[in-house]
Amino acid sequence: MITEAWSKNKERILIVDDEEDILELVQYNVEREGYQTLCAVTGEQALQIVQTDKVDMVILDLMLPGINGLEVAKSIKRNPQKTNIPIIMLTAKGEETDIITGLELGADDYVTKPFSPKILLARIKAVIRKNRSQLVDTDAVLHHHGISIHPGRRIIKINGKSVDLTYTEFQILYYLAGRPGWVFTRTQIVDAVRGDNYSVTDRSVDVQMVGLRKKLGPYGKYLETVRGVGYRFRE
């Protein structure tokens, strides 16, 4: 089933869930808030819609027939043209591992089932506000120390050679390089990359930095640790 409804707001939200009652509940409440909706009941249908339609957000169930929600999220975030589409995961309580995996893949938030429609709507509005505030000039390429960072194409090059980074690694590097010399705490980095109020530990940021420095090779030295505070990109 693929359905679509139109209303006054410009945001188009794709709702993906194979449980008809939940799908209808989410669609009803989202449309009441004035958003446009598209619906799909499988991961395959969701990916088809993302490829062929304008989608501004995905509300994504994890337990889907065929391609599951995590694979859908991974596919979206690996697509340079679609990677900035925010994703809110819908998940049953107790799936802590899946939640962490989803966030690492680039999901923006998660809501546990059973859920309150009011809480879901609040999360949707918060993610949309954050996404609007972080819109970047896709032509504003950053150049520092032989490293070039293209936010729109999500490409990192060192002296002209491409470097393959994960979604999180790219976000961290772009955030730090955007203000060379500024020191950011681990909490600030987590909030900038993932949004507010995530239960991500300082250790998670440290692990990402280790992987990022390794991929940057000798240029990893420009990501400096400020003891007792956090990290900065060398000015």
| Domain boundaries, position 195 | 142-233
Query: What's this model's pTM, rounded to 2 decimal places?
Result: 0.59
Structural domains of the chain, count: 2
**Are 122 and 164 in the same domain?**
no
Across the chain, mean pLDDT equals 84
* Domain identity same for 154 and 226: yes
pLDDT at position 133? 59
Q: In angstroms, rounded to a whole number, what is the distance separating the alpha carbons of residues 93 and 211?
A: 30
CB proximity list for 82: less than 8 A, separation 6 or greater: 50, 51, 55, 76
Helices (H), 79-160: 96-105, 117-133
pLDDT at position 5, please?
45
Q: What's the pLDDT at 196? A: 47
What CATH number did the domain enclosing 156 receive? Answer: 1.10.10.10
Beginning with the edge strand found earlier in the chain, give each strand of the sheet holding 57-61 in spatial order. Answer: 3-5, 36-40, 12-16, 57-61, 87-92, 109-113
Q: Are residues 37 and 83 in the same domain?
A: yes
Q: Are residues 128 and 149 in the same domain?
A: no
Residue 13 has pLDDT above 60, yes or no: yes
Beta bridge partners of 185: 230
Please write the tens of the pLDDT for every residue from 108-167: 888 888 889 999 999 998 888 777 655 544 457 888 888 998 887 788 999 989 999 888
For tokens 């007792």, the residue is 228
Backbone phi, psi, residue 174, to 5° = -65, -40
